[in-house]
Amino acid sequence: MGGSAQNTLETCLRLDPARFAVTLMHGLSEESRMTAAERGAVRAGIDRARALGVEVVPVSDLVRRIDWLKDLRALLAILQVIRRKKPEIVHTHTSKAGILGRLAAWMAGVPTIVHTPHGHVFYGHFGPAGSRLFLLLEKLTARITHRLIALTERERCDYEQLGVAPARKLITAHSGVHIDRFEKSCRPEHRKDVLPELPQDAFVIGYVGWLSPVKGVMVLLEAMGVVARRCPQAWLVLVGKGSLEQEIRMRIRRLGMEDRVVLTGWRSDIEKLMPCFDLFVLPSLNEGMGRVLVEAMAAARPIVSSDTGGIPDLVKDGENGILFPPGDWKALADDILRLINHPRLARRMGLKGQHRSRRYSVEAMVQKIEKCYDELQRRATDSTVAPECRRVPSR
């Protein structure tokens, strides 16, 4: 239940049912080692989609890792469903599912193919060889794609500058957030009810996201080692799970910060947790958008974040937060201490962020996506689809 999953599900739930009949195909997330609470949240989302008329089709072979046999079986399964449903539009999400889904849609002769990458994997995720492979695959599948939807202007520019797709195929539609849920929570419940581990006088630095290398959590821990020595009240709360969890616990012990760091695991009540933070930090090495930043902004939290990917679209340096060079833990420590030592500046940044967050609502996202669909449908009807995107359905 990361940002891309929430974005996709919200789109399915909120498309105008009078005009769109939606089928949602998804993998089973077997590799993510979901907790019982997370599985419950996924099931609740799927049940809600079905209740609203969305046909939900699980694809057991659609996995995150590269597995040529499973990938082929997933491609055939997706192709079978598309040929049965005969959709006018296929909209894919994320890199792996996007490659397989678009290829199946092209093979089935679907007239309109749309893709949302949710950031890209051209750096920070894999080594040089893996990054080059995914860049090549994205360039090839972009040729059969009518529209690529970037989450931020920075991401859109990356796709154009890297030669993935021409400007005419690229638009921007930010990942939408339920802003009101976080605005209403700006006066939080007593901290002890949400995070009982925290002392009353703690200055709480919060992180929400995957505990994975690309998220830069180790950079945050190194910075926290400096912050903790200079500010005895500083505490760090890490919300999430991932492959680095064991390594993170070991690093915390080596830094001697067992009594200053709280690991909550995966949580569904982010709207309750966010107001417990005095400061929100996102130290990613690569980030498509970081919708959690919008949640922090809506809750009027000041932000310190890395200057990478689409983050500068949301966080304006010196206005609603501070940006630091990715991987620079010393700069991160200095920026955190600056906001600890200047509470009025931190409050001013939080309020500016809250005002700015309203442009990133779920409603605004779905309106942009519906507008994109309508425009592409008109072009398909007028037979003006780009030649490289046409294909006669196989018989």
Domain 179-359 in the same topology as domain 3-176+361-389: yes
Q: Which residues of 99-130 are buried (b: 16+ CB within 10 A; e: fewer)?
A: bbbbbbbbbbebbbbbbbbbbbbbebbeeeee
Instruction: Supply the pLDDT for residue 64.
Output: 82
Right CATH number for 179-359 from 3.40.50.170, 3.40.50.2000, 3.40.50.2300, 3.30.70.330? 3.40.50.2000
Percentage of the chain modeled with pLDDT above 70 = 91
Which CATH number applies to 3-176+361-389? 3.40.50.2000
Listed by start position, the domains of the chain span 3-176+361-389, 179-359
Choose among 169, 74, 156, 146: nearest CA to 120: 156
Q: What is the mean pLDDT of residues 39-68?
A: 89
Give me the torsion for CA of 341, 342, 348, 354, rounded to 10°. Answer: -10
Render pLDDT for 309-358 as a digit per residue (tens, 0 to 9): 889 999 999 999 999 999 999 999 999 999 999 999 999 999 999 999 99
Q: Give me the residues paired with residue 322 across strands.
A: 304
Percentage of the chain modeled with pLDDT above 90 = 64
**How far is 165 from 115, CA to CA, in rounded Å?**
12
Instruction: Supply the pLDDT for residue 395.
Output: 36
DSSP characters for 206-252?
EEES--SGGGTHHHHHHHHHHHHHH-TTEEEEEE---TTHHHHHHHH
Predicted confidence band of residue 394 (pLDDT cuts 50, 70, 90) = very low
Instruction: Supply the pLDDT for residue 381.
Output: 78
**How far is 342 from 332, CA to CA, in rounded Å?**
16
